[in-house]
Structure 1
Protein backbone atom coordinates (compact mmCIF):
# COMPACT_ATOMS: atom_id res chain seq x y z
CA UNK A 1 0.00 0.00 0.00
CA UNK A 2 1.42 3.36 -0.98
CA UNK A 3 1.36 6.16 1.51
CA UNK A 4 0.02 9.50 0.26
CA UNK A 5 2.42 12.28 1.27
CA UNK A 6 1.02 14.97 3.53
CA UNK A 7 -0.03 18.24 1.87
CA UNK A 8 1.99 19.94 4.62
CA UNK A 9 5.28 18.60 3.24
CA UNK A 10 7.55 21.41 2.17
CA UNK A 11 8.50 21.68 -1.51
CA UNK A 12 11.84 22.30 -3.15
CA UNK A 13 12.94 24.78 -5.81
CA UNK A 14 12.88 21.89 -8.29
CA UNK A 15 9.20 21.32 -7.42
CA UNK A 16 8.48 25.01 -8.04
CA UNK A 17 10.28 24.86 -11.40
CA UNK A 18 8.24 21.80 -12.33
CA UNK A 19 5.05 23.64 -11.36
CA UNK A 20 6.03 26.72 -13.41
CA UNK A 21 6.76 24.50 -16.39
CA UNK A 22 3.38 22.76 -16.07
CA UNK A 23 1.67 26.15 -15.72
CA UNK A 24 3.40 27.33 -18.91
CA UNK A 25 2.01 24.31 -20.74
CA UNK A 26 -1.49 25.20 -19.58
CA UNK A 27 -1.06 28.76 -20.81
CA UNK A 28 0.26 27.48 -24.17
CA UNK A 29 -2.78 25.24 -24.45
CA UNK A 30 -5.05 28.26 -23.88
CA UNK A 31 -6.40 27.17 -20.50
CA UNK A 32 -4.99 30.31 -18.83
CA UNK A 33 -4.68 33.86 -20.04
CA UNK A 34 -1.56 35.93 -19.39
CA UNK A 35 -3.00 37.62 -16.29
CA UNK A 36 -4.02 34.32 -14.71
CA UNK A 37 -0.62 32.88 -15.56
CA UNK A 38 1.07 35.82 -13.84
CA UNK A 39 -1.06 35.47 -10.71
CA UNK A 40 -0.60 31.72 -10.45
CA UNK A 41 3.14 31.84 -11.17
CA UNK A 42 3.53 34.41 -8.35
CA UNK A 43 1.65 32.04 -6.03
CA UNK A 44 3.90 29.16 -7.13
CA UNK A 45 7.09 31.05 -6.34
CA UNK A 46 5.69 31.93 -2.90
CA UNK A 47 4.37 28.39 -2.19
CA UNK A 48 5.98 26.44 0.62
CA UNK A 49 3.95 23.21 0.78
CA UNK A 50 2.45 20.61 -1.52
CA UNK A 51 -1.01 21.67 -0.42
CA UNK A 52 -0.41 25.22 -1.67
CA UNK A 53 0.71 23.89 -5.07
CA UNK A 54 -2.26 21.52 -5.23
CA UNK A 55 -4.66 24.46 -4.76
CA UNK A 56 -3.09 26.29 -7.72
CA UNK A 57 -3.64 23.28 -10.01
CA UNK A 58 -6.99 22.14 -8.58
CA UNK A 59 -9.01 23.32 -11.61
CA UNK A 60 -6.48 22.22 -14.23
CA UNK A 61 -5.97 18.83 -15.89
CA UNK A 62 -2.54 17.23 -16.19
CA UNK A 63 0.29 18.16 -16.31
CA UNK A 64 0.77 18.92 -12.64
CA UNK A 65 4.02 19.54 -10.75
CA UNK A 66 6.36 16.61 -10.19
CA UNK A 67 7.67 15.97 -6.69
CA UNK A 68 11.13 14.79 -5.65
CA UNK A 69 9.95 11.59 -4.00
CA UNK A 70 7.71 10.53 -6.89
CA UNK A 71 8.64 7.05 -8.04
CA UNK A 72 11.05 7.30 -10.89
CA UNK A 73 11.05 4.89 -13.78
CA UNK A 74 14.11 2.71 -13.73
CA UNK A 75 15.68 2.42 -17.13
CA UNK A 76 16.87 -1.00 -18.12
CA UNK A 77 20.41 -0.89 -19.39
CA UNK A 78 20.59 -1.49 -23.08
CA UNK A 79 23.02 -0.83 -25.84
CA UNK A 80 24.21 2.75 -25.80
CA UNK A 81 23.06 4.70 -28.84
CA UNK A 82 25.81 5.26 -31.34
CA UNK A 83 26.08 8.97 -32.10
CA UNK A 84 26.00 9.88 -35.73
CA UNK A 85 29.38 11.21 -36.82
CA UNK A 86 29.47 14.92 -37.49
CA UNK A 87 30.20 15.71 -41.09
CA UNK A 88 32.85 18.36 -41.59
CA UNK A 89 31.50 21.61 -42.97
CA UNK A 90 27.99 21.21 -41.53
CA UNK A 91 26.66 23.64 -38.92
CA UNK A 92 26.55 20.96 -36.20
CA UNK A 93 30.32 20.48 -36.54
CA UNK A 94 31.19 24.18 -36.30
CA UNK A 95 33.05 25.61 -33.34
CA UNK A 96 31.44 28.40 -31.29
CA UNK A 97 33.51 31.12 -33.04
CA UNK A 98 32.41 29.74 -36.41
CA UNK A 99 28.77 29.77 -35.32
CA UNK A 100 29.12 33.36 -34.10
CA UNK A 101 30.71 34.47 -37.35
CA UNK A 102 28.08 32.65 -39.40
CA UNK A 103 25.43 34.65 -37.57
CA UNK A 104 27.18 38.02 -37.60
CA UNK A 105 28.41 38.18 -41.23
CA UNK A 106 24.96 38.49 -42.85
CA UNK A 107 23.94 41.04 -40.21
CA UNK A 108 27.09 43.06 -40.89
CA UNK A 109 26.31 43.14 -44.61
CA UNK A 110 22.74 44.26 -43.98
CA UNK A 111 23.89 46.95 -41.53
CA UNK A 112 26.57 48.23 -43.91
CA UNK A 113 24.11 48.48 -46.79
CA UNK A 114 21.55 50.24 -44.59
CA UNK A 115 24.12 52.72 -43.25
CA UNK A 116 25.37 53.52 -46.75
CA UNK A 117 21.82 53.85 -48.11
CA UNK A 118 20.73 56.23 -45.36
CA UNK A 119 23.88 58.32 -45.68
CA UNK A 120 24.78 57.75 -42.03
CA UNK A 121 28.23 56.47 -42.93
CA UNK A 122 30.19 56.54 -46.16
CA UNK A 123 31.06 53.65 -48.42
CA UNK A 124 34.23 52.64 -46.47
CA UNK A 125 31.93 50.93 -43.93
CA UNK A 126 31.63 48.11 -46.47
CA UNK A 127 35.12 46.97 -45.44
CA UNK A 128 33.73 45.70 -42.10
CA UNK A 129 31.57 42.91 -43.61
CA UNK A 130 34.27 42.21 -46.20
CA UNK A 131 36.77 41.72 -43.38
CA UNK A 132 34.38 39.47 -41.48
CA UNK A 133 33.78 37.42 -44.62
CA UNK A 134 37.54 37.00 -45.15
CA UNK A 135 37.90 36.00 -41.50
CA UNK A 136 35.13 33.42 -42.00
CA UNK A 137 36.87 32.00 -45.04
CA UNK A 138 40.08 31.63 -43.02
CA UNK A 139 38.20 29.87 -40.21
CA UNK A 140 36.39 27.40 -42.47
CA UNK A 141 39.17 26.79 -44.96
CA UNK A 142 39.08 26.62 -48.73
CA UNK A 143 35.70 24.98 -49.20
CA UNK A 144 33.74 26.45 -46.31
CA UNK A 145 30.79 27.34 -48.50
CA UNK A 146 30.52 24.08 -50.44
CA UNK A 147 28.11 21.41 -49.38
CA UNK A 148 28.83 17.69 -49.43
CA UNK A 149 26.96 17.14 -52.71
CA UNK A 150 29.04 19.76 -54.50
CA UNK A 151 32.25 18.19 -53.18
CA UNK A 152 31.24 14.73 -54.45
CA UNK A 153 30.35 16.13 -57.88
CA UNK A 154 33.69 17.94 -58.05
CA UNK A 155 35.62 14.76 -57.11
CA UNK A 156 33.65 12.79 -59.71
CA UNK A 157 34.46 15.43 -62.33
CA UNK A 158 38.19 15.22 -61.50
CA UNK A 159 38.17 11.42 -61.77
CA UNK A 160 36.39 11.60 -65.15
CA UNK A 161 38.88 14.15 -66.44
CA UNK A 162 41.79 11.96 -65.33
CA UNK A 163 40.29 8.91 -67.11
CA UNK A 164 39.86 10.89 -70.32
CA UNK A 165 43.49 11.99 -70.16
CA UNK A 166 44.63 8.41 -69.72
CA UNK A 167 42.48 7.24 -72.66
CA UNK A 168 43.84 10.04 -74.85
CA UNK A 169 47.48 8.99 -74.46
Structure 2
Protein backbone atom coordinates (compact mmCIF):
# COMPACT_ATOMS: atom_id res chain seq x y z
CA UNK A 1 0.00 0.00 0.00
CA UNK A 2 1.09 3.56 -0.62
CA UNK A 3 2.44 5.73 2.19
CA UNK A 4 0.85 8.94 3.38
CA UNK A 5 2.79 12.02 4.40
CA UNK A 6 1.86 11.38 8.03
CA UNK A 7 3.26 7.84 7.84
CA UNK A 8 6.54 9.18 6.40
CA UNK A 9 6.75 11.76 9.17
CA UNK A 10 6.15 9.07 11.78
CA UNK A 11 8.99 6.99 10.29
CA UNK A 12 11.36 9.96 10.39
CA UNK A 13 10.39 10.63 14.02
CA UNK A 14 11.17 6.98 14.87
CA UNK A 15 14.59 7.34 13.20
CA UNK A 16 15.18 10.53 15.19
CA UNK A 17 14.48 8.65 18.39
CA UNK A 18 17.09 6.04 17.41
CA UNK A 19 19.62 8.84 16.89
CA UNK A 20 18.81 10.28 20.33
CA UNK A 21 19.35 6.87 21.97
CA UNK A 22 22.62 6.29 20.10
CA UNK A 23 21.50 3.40 17.88
CA UNK A 24 22.11 5.41 14.70
CA UNK A 25 24.79 7.96 13.93
CA UNK A 26 24.06 11.16 12.02
CA UNK A 27 25.30 9.83 8.67
CA UNK A 28 23.18 6.70 8.85
CA UNK A 29 20.20 8.79 9.96
CA UNK A 30 20.67 11.02 6.89
CA UNK A 31 20.79 8.03 4.56
CA UNK A 32 17.76 6.34 6.07
CA UNK A 33 15.68 9.51 6.36
CA UNK A 34 16.36 10.26 2.67
CA UNK A 35 15.10 6.79 1.78
CA UNK A 36 12.02 7.31 3.98
CA UNK A 37 11.29 10.59 2.21
CA UNK A 38 11.59 8.89 -1.19
CA UNK A 39 9.54 5.84 -0.17
CA UNK A 40 6.14 5.52 -1.78
CA UNK A 41 5.09 2.09 -0.49
CA UNK A 42 5.01 0.62 2.99
CA UNK A 43 7.19 -2.29 1.89
CA UNK A 44 10.02 0.17 1.20
CA UNK A 45 10.14 1.12 4.91
CA UNK A 46 10.63 -2.40 6.25
CA UNK A 47 14.34 -2.75 5.33
CA UNK A 48 15.08 0.59 7.01
CA UNK A 49 13.83 -0.62 10.39
CA UNK A 50 14.58 -4.36 10.34
CA UNK A 51 17.76 -4.00 12.44
CA UNK A 52 16.21 -1.54 14.90
CA UNK A 53 14.02 -2.21 17.94
CA UNK A 54 10.98 -0.12 18.89
CA UNK A 55 9.99 2.59 18.18
CA UNK A 56 8.89 1.71 14.69
CA UNK A 57 6.31 3.35 12.47
CA UNK A 58 2.83 2.00 13.09
CA UNK A 59 2.59 0.84 9.45
CA UNK A 60 5.32 -1.73 10.16
CA UNK A 61 3.76 -3.16 13.32
CA UNK A 62 1.99 -6.47 13.06
CA UNK A 63 -1.65 -6.12 12.26
CA UNK A 64 -4.07 -7.87 14.64
CA UNK A 65 -5.26 -11.18 13.35
CA UNK A 66 -9.01 -11.60 13.04
CA UNK A 67 -10.36 -14.21 15.44
CA UNK A 68 -10.94 -17.56 13.84
CA UNK A 69 -14.47 -18.79 13.46
CA UNK A 70 -15.33 -21.52 15.92
CA UNK A 71 -15.07 -25.01 14.51
CA UNK A 72 -18.31 -26.73 13.66
CA UNK A 73 -19.17 -29.65 15.90
CA UNK A 74 -18.41 -33.03 14.33
CA UNK A 75 -21.30 -34.76 12.63
CA UNK A 76 -22.26 -38.22 13.72
CA UNK A 77 -24.13 -39.04 10.57
CA UNK A 78 -23.49 -37.80 7.09
CA UNK A 79 -26.28 -36.16 5.13
CA UNK A 80 -26.66 -39.29 3.03
CA UNK A 81 -27.28 -41.46 6.10
CA UNK A 82 -30.74 -39.98 6.77
CA UNK A 83 -32.42 -41.12 3.52
CA UNK A 84 -30.77 -44.54 3.77
CA UNK A 85 -31.97 -44.95 7.37
CA UNK A 86 -35.48 -43.91 6.32
CA UNK A 87 -35.57 -46.49 3.50
CA UNK A 88 -34.32 -49.25 5.81
CA UNK A 89 -36.94 -48.27 8.38
CA UNK A 90 -39.74 -48.36 5.78
CA UNK A 91 -38.70 -51.78 4.47
CA UNK A 92 -38.36 -53.19 7.96
CA UNK A 93 -41.71 -51.94 9.16
CA UNK A 94 -43.51 -52.91 5.95
CA UNK A 95 -42.40 -56.49 6.44
CA UNK A 96 -43.17 -56.57 10.17
CA UNK A 97 -46.35 -54.48 10.45
CA UNK A 98 -48.48 -55.43 7.46
CA UNK A 99 -51.56 -53.36 6.80
CA UNK A 100 -50.77 -50.55 9.20
CA UNK A 101 -50.97 -47.19 7.42
CA UNK A 102 -49.07 -45.20 10.05
CA UNK A 103 -45.94 -47.13 9.11
CA UNK A 104 -45.44 -44.58 6.34
CA UNK A 105 -45.01 -41.85 8.96
CA UNK A 106 -42.03 -43.61 10.50
CA UNK A 107 -39.49 -42.53 7.83
CA UNK A 108 -40.52 -38.92 8.39
CA UNK A 109 -40.03 -39.31 12.14
CA UNK A 110 -36.67 -41.03 11.64
CA UNK A 111 -35.54 -38.33 9.21
CA UNK A 112 -36.56 -35.60 11.65
CA UNK A 113 -34.76 -37.26 14.57
CA UNK A 114 -31.53 -37.93 12.69
CA UNK A 115 -31.70 -34.58 10.92
CA UNK A 116 -31.96 -32.75 14.24
CA UNK A 117 -29.00 -34.67 15.69
CA UNK A 118 -26.68 -33.94 12.74
CA UNK A 119 -27.01 -30.11 13.07
Give the greater-gyration-radius structure (CA): 2
- If asked which structure has higher relative contact order (CA below 8 Å, sep 6+), I would say 2
TM-score, scaled to structure 2: 0.49
TM-score, scaled to structure 1: 0.35
